[in-house]
Amino acid sequence: MKIGELAAASGTTSKTIRFYEQSGVLPEPTRMPSGYRDCGPEFIERLTFVRAHRRPDCR
């Protein structure tokens, strides 16, 4: 799935996903021949986990 689809499915934004990738919280996804990210369902699980375990003062 593309980053916009991942953002909608996980309840976050594309900008947040890019930030998590750059900071190493999310692994670098594979890329389609067009250059778009190709994120699998494991990315939704990881984002759900990260969002559930953020510090309360960061929400």
The C-alpha atoms of residue 55 and residue 45 are separated, in whole angstroms, by 18
Give the pairing of strands 30-31 and 37-38.
antiparallel
Local confidence pLDDT in tens for the 59 residues of the chain:
999 999 999 989 999 999 999 999 999 899 999 999 999 999 999 999 998 888 777 65
Output the pLDDT for position 17: 94
Give the number of domains in the chain: 1
Q: What is the pTM of this model?
A: 0.81
CATH number at residue 36: 1.10.1660.10
Q: CB–CB of 51/45 below 8 Å?
A: no
Residue 4 CA from chain centroid, whole number: 10
Range of the domain at 37: 3-58
